[in-house]
Every structure is written in C-alpha cells, then in structure tokens.
Structure 1
Amino acid sequence: MKKFSILSLILVISLASYTHQKSKQKEQSVSSVELVTEKPTYSSILKEHSRYSTSHALIKSSKFPTLGYVTPWNNHGYDVAKIFSRKFTYICPVWYQIVFTPQEKIQINGGHDLDAGWIRDVRNGSSAPRIVPRFLLENWAPKSILELAESDKLQESFISSIVKQCKDNGFDGIVLDTANLGMRLGNEHLDERLLTFYQNLGTALHKNKWTFILVEPPSRGRRASFESRDFMSLAPFVDHFSLMTYDFSGNTEGPNAPLTWMVENALSLIPPSMRSDEELTQKLLLGVPFYGYDFKNGMSNAITANTYLGLLKEHKPKFKWDGVASEHYFTYKEKGTSSEHTVYYPTLKFVHERLKSIEELGVGLAIWEIGQGLDYFYDLL
C-alpha cells in the first residue's frame, strides 16, 4: 500500500510538471522562442505552426489599426476572428456583391452568407473589433460605371441600399471594393463626379457613426489608378484605404508582396509634408497577404496553409531568403518528373518585417485573409 502511494505521488508530480511545462510553452510567444528567423526549417514550421500564446491572444501589441478579411471559402478565418478578436480593429467578412441590373437598378446579393451568431461571438468581451462587411462591385461594365458617375438618382439608390444593409444588420460600417474599377474614367468631369459620389457615401455613413473603408489597387510601375491627389481628396470622408499590395508577380515566378514595393506605394500616396500626421497616415492600410503561390512553367497557383503544410511534409525543402523582397521561398520537384516548382508563402520573418515597416511608416495593416495563414502569425500582432 505504501509503495503504491509513493508511485502514485511520483506519477502525479510528473504529470503536474508536464502540464506546467506545456502550459508555459503556450504562454511563450513565437518571438520569445526565436522562431522569427531568416533560416526556418520545414520541421520547425510543421511542429510549431499551430502554436500561439494563449495570454498574448488577448492583447493587441501593435498600435496601428488592423483589418482582417474573412472569406466564406476559408472557414478557419471565422475561428481566427473569434480567438484573436482583440488583435483586430476591424473584421471584414467578405459577404456582399453589388450588381447593376439590366433595369438600371442597384441590387445587393450575398445576404445568405451573413452569420449573426458569429458576429455576436466576435463582439463578445471588451475591445471587440468593428464588423465592416465587404461590398464588392461585381461585373460592372464600363457603361454602368459611367451611368453611376453621371446619375444622381443612381448614386442615391446606391447609398440608400448600403445604409439599409447597415441598419438592418447592425453593422459598424462597410468596406467598399471598387479596386477593379479604378478612380479614373479618363474624363475630368466624370472623374470629379465619381470622387463626389465617394464623398457623399462617406458623409452618409459618418452621419450614423459608421466606418467607411475603401479598397484600392496598388501601383505596379505604370500610372496608378489611385493617386496621392485621390487619397488627399477623399481622406476627410474615408476612414481607411485598404491598399492591395500583393499579387505583385502575377504568373511570373517571384515574390508576392516585395517589401520595398509596399513601402514605395505607401510613400507615393502620402505627401512628404503630411507624413508626420498620424491621423492621416493611419488612414492607409497596407495589404499583407497570408497566402502564397506555387509557380511552375510560367503559371501560378495560389496556395493556402493546408496545401503549404502538405508540400513541406512531402518534400522537406530548404528555405532561401530573398533579402531584396524580404520573402522566403523554396523549390521542389514533382515525384517522377523533372518539373521544378518554386513556392513563395509567408513565414514569421515575412510577417515580422512588414509589421516593422508598417509601424515605421505610421500606417495601418490589412490582412488578406486570416483563414489562409498559420495560427502562430497572430502572435506577432
């Protein structure tokens, strides 16, 4: 009996010690265990990617505004938004499409994706993020854009439809995605009309204390469709501009979001004399991708976390660091063939470098999208 008691005591102490160590490990952030490195290994990523500090998950360490997109086709994003809700200023579920009908009317689709229970869960507790669903202008023909720019009646219908959605569903504002349209129609009068429309939409939203975020494309070396003059003209009416600084390489093998290019885009929009104005600079949200690309023979396939982890497990690759772009990549060959692939996908170092630059620039962050990344990325926010 005495021998059994001693063995039981040893077992209890050992179990308690293991539980304490495991708990302690969960309380350590990725930074404190030196996982942010230029030389990651496939094995460390496979082992650690799902870890995060449980206490750190409740704290937003960054001071800049942070927007996280959530898409219905990557359901893990819904869980990330709940677990790390306090790290985000805004959560943007990608639910709605704005369609211009043949009857020349504004129609909003996508309401079937709305999840009121999930919204309640994300808002639960203090420091809850604002829920700002995305409204995408989908398949608008050039003729339809011209009609919107020219018609006061159509603009009023557009604005009233948005206001109704916010009121009916208790949203905190919207993200309007017109990035595929651009800001310029090639006619000075129409360009001015379009800017006035955005200003009127912002005024209508702000009357109800709702947030207005406008999605805009980045510059890729040619004349930008969204310029500094547009930024400054709309800044009093728009809370933030979500800049799509990703998909840099397209089908050409290369980095997804080179850091130098991201910084250049930010600096091109904010006049030098205004860069010390934090209220203005934080209106700009630099887009950071949490997905990657697999390149082969001049073609690219977007990949998310599960595909990426599968490639690491199968091919056990060695990582290379592109110091100019500040991105990691690796190569692998398909089994039984000579076909070589090159993969660019975010790492902790990739995320860390962009967060550091965002803080130095005094701008904000927009993540596309939180269901596509690795859980330990959020330790850095």
Structure 2
Amino acid sequence: MKTYESTLKKIEQLVTQGENTFEKYDLLEELVIDVNGKEAVRKLIDDDINEIMCKQGLKYQATTNEKNALEKEVKYQLTRIKMDYDVCLMNIILYGIICPYVKKNRKIKEYAANKFNWIDEKDKRYAIRGDTMNSFNTPVLEYIRLYGDSYSNPQILEINRAGRNAGKFMVPNNNYLGWYDLILENLEYFSNILSDDAMKYISNYHRIGNFIAIPFANGEEFNRPRGTGKTKDFWDLCLNQIYLWFCSIDLKSENEIFLYNIVGKKRNVMLLKKWLLEEFGNWEQFVETNYLQDFCDEELHPIEYWEGHFNGEVMPKQIEEFQQFFYIASRCIEKRSERISRAIYAKMLDE
C-alpha cells in the first residue's frame, strides 16, 4: 500500500517547487501512479480498455499518450480498475493540510482498495471524505445528447424516439456498451463537437479546486444524494441551498427544506446539519474554511453557472447556457485551485 509517509514526502517535494505547484496539478495523474512502483497502473488501465474495446469489436487502441483531456477522462470512466481521485491518499492528506478541522481527533484509514478517509476516533461511524464538486457526466453528456450531429459521415449518433430523452441524440444500437466506448472510438468527432470552453472544463476537472472535504457516516451521505437529488450534481445549486439555509438560521427561522433539496432524506439532512454547525457555524466561516470565495461574488453570494439557474431549470437547455456553464465553472475551479495551491504552500512552510 502506498504509505502516508511516502505521499506526504511527495507533497513536501512538490511544495519546494513554489506556491503555484498545485495550481494545475492533475490528480488523475496522481491516481494512476502505481502504488508499489512495480507495474504502472496506467498500463493496467490501457490493457483493460483495449480488452473491452476488442471484445466489443471496436477500433480503438489505448496508449499512455492521450490526445486530450477528453480521452483521458473517458478512459478513467470506462476502465474496470476501480479508483477514485477525490478519495485518493494525496487528496485526503491535502484536505487535512488546508482544512485543519478535517484531522481534528481523526486518523486516515483505507476504507476500500486505494480509497481513504479521515475517521473520527471518538465516533468511528463518522468520517470526512472527498467529493468532486462539478460533474463530468451530467453537463458533458447532456451537451452531446442535445447538440451532437446526427448527419456526420459516417453517422455516429441516433435520435432517441421514446422515454425521458426522446428527441435527443443517443448511443446507436450497435456494439457499444454506452457513451464511453462510443466516444473513444470516435474521439476526433466528439473532440470537435465540444466547444473550446467545454474542453477546457474537462481539462480543469481533476484540479484541486474541484474537490472538497465532506461528511460521511454509515447510512448517511452527502455525496451520492447530491448527485441524484434536486440539485443534480450542480455545485452552484448545492452551494446556494447551503447559503439559504444559513440565512434562515441567522433569521432565527431555520428552514430545512434547503438541505432536503440537496440530500433528500432526513438522515442525510441530519448529517449535513451536524457538519455545517459543528465545523463551521455560519456561512462566512463555511466559505473561508473551504476556500469557496471564488464560487461567490464580492458579497459572498453564490455565483450561478448561467443566468437564471437558481430560479429556473436545473439542467441547461440552450447552447448559451452550456457555454456559460463551461466557462464560469471552469474559471471558478481555476481560481480556487490557485487559492488552495497558495494555502498548501503557506501551511506546509509553517509546519
């Protein structure tokens, strides 16, 4: 197992390169470095991808020299080798460095293969894990469903004739398992239909500014229900609901509906409240501790990803809304990555 000491040493070495070291650090690269230094995990992933594609009779050869961030991300999504960058050891250690509350009375524990969290020593059912704030699948695949091109030569996409996605583009009924192997076999096509801002968003997806420490307890979660609930994995909506809840607390008229909008069930709401009240206490402290200033305006109000998002449709519909989303979310991730990189540098020098 990759040890805490060796990973911390790597962080210390990276910090010596300057305060901007982690600004553009790709945590997916960290994830695919072999934990024992024997066989590269990247090769294991490529071999696995090639086996899948060959079995499906598809023309794609995986190599470690990906053409762009889209190819790299889709390979990660498709592989059967289970990894998770928001709970990789480096990320978990970094959470403890930049957010002191994370490691208070807690120790790092490997809860699954190559997945780690900070476990509470007093209440061992309670832990702090990692979460990816902004999704790849939700906006990128929806963009393709709506704005793919069915008239390419040869035709790559088909029109969905029924169901909730009727009228949208779909994966053709050929040998494909789903979107990921379709994208890999037609990488140039999909790279071209995605805008420059969309490709930049995908490039920024694995940066430290897109990850946050969150609570977890047995049977109680923040991560998964946030992705399947009313906010549909859009971080601006999640952040705005937390802001509105804190505002209701300040007005002495707490309204839990804002938290239900994020996590759905009572037990998840209780977990979220425990985290927000015990670790932060108010909105300003929540923003400051989690370095979320770049997802807020000058008055610390959450920034919406496109005009009308807080009071309109959860999913983008118009191409202008997608363009705003990819640009604004990407810019927020970049700026927060810069802020966190400086914080890691400063805190490591102080220790």
TM-score (norm. length: structure 1): 0.22
Q: Which has the higher helix share?
A: 2
TM-score (norm. length: structure 2): 0.24
Q: Which has the higher strand share?
A: 1
Larger radius of gyration: 1
